Chain A
Amino acid sequence: MKADKIIKYLLQITGLILINKAGFYIVELFELRIPGNVLGMILLFVLLWTRVVRLEWFEGAADFLVRHLSFFFVPISVGLMTLGGLIAENGIQLAVILVLSAIIGMVFAGGTSHMLVKRKEGKETGNSAHDL
């Protein structure tokens, strides 16, 4: 039972690795200036959409990786220790930039979407078909 699950996960991860490799291969082949892994993501999405592959083939491992996505920050952010000088020099300025731009981005994204959602729902009053 347990071994089954592990093998399934390993196969799923292998599948994801292969699609990732395919993405990088295509990028290299056509000399595109986009990340291979993003192309891999689009590739998997298209394959799912067109039902060439089924969701169950990837589900378990994919959910695991997505849930622990932030885990991948760790090795890179440990590199922060090499940035001590920069933080001492520009730390406050950088903090201001990051806070302000995050607020601005969320206000614009949320505001725009909210406006359009309300307009859409205004138009569709009486049509309860799209209740989520």
Chain B
Amino acid sequence: MLAYLFARRAAGKYPSPLTSPVFLSTVIVIAVLLFLNIPYKKYEPASEIMTYFLGPATVALAVPLYRQRKIISAYAVPALFGLIAGIVSTIISAVFIAYLLNLSDLILVSLTIKSITIPVASEVARIIGADSILVAAFVMITGMLGAMIGPFLMNTMKIDDPFSRGLAIGTIAHGIGTAEAAREGELQGAVSGAAMGMAAIITSLFLPIILPVFL
């Protein structure tokens, strides 16, 4: 079991510039498991070891946040309102469309945390009773979408200041978007990383309180 873990780790790291390494390594593991006819249950212990590091990885987000404290406080007003506008609009639009399409409550709840970074999302999922696997899928797809569409969208909207570009992409597309934003420029990447951390904090502080009102 552990052998696959390392094989996949290597596979995930090297082709990184091509496609999203996450996507690729996920496909590889699923393929290997299916090919060798290993049920998911047997893979679970291996995934638990990695899940253990989710906590420290989240705590580590404080470091980029701290490094960017000057930019954040200089642009506190745009940052705060931008973050809130992004978080609220994406959650409401997702849940509203899902509601119109008559999707199950479990899907609705799981959609609310699709824009926060995975270690936090999986913790919040536990608190609000969302499906952790569904959440992971939504988070990953949202991140890839944001990274792909984000820069193009910002160009069409003529959003040219690097601060807002980074903020928009980081708020919605968390880590995967941040990698993309960093390719655009140092400031975009930094702001995106900070926005990812702030979005995670804001969402996880308020969602568990607000959600029960609607369900």
Contacts and interface: CB of A to CB of B under 8 A. Distances in A.
Given A78-B33, A81-B34, A106 B21 contact: no
Contacts of B9: 71
Given A40-B55, A113-B163, A80 B137 contact: yes
- Chain B contact-residue range equals 35 or more
A107 B69 CA distance: 24
B187 to A, nearest CB: 6
A28 interface: no
B33 A81 contact: yes
A117 B164 contact: yes
Given A48-B62, A109-B82, A109-B86, A74 B168 contact: no
Interface of B: 8-9, 12, 20-22, 25-26, 29-30, 33-34, 40, 43, 46-48, 50-51, 53-67, 69, 71, 74-75, 77-79, 81-83, 85-91, 93-94, 97-98, 101, 103, 107, 111, 114-115, 117-120, 122-124, 127, 132-134, 136-143, 145-146, 149-150, 153-154, 157, 159, 161-165, 167-169, 171-173, 175-176, 179, 187, 193, 195, 197, 200-201, 204-205, 208-209
The list of the 3 closest CB pairs from A to B, nearest first, reads A109-B86, A105-B90, A113-B82
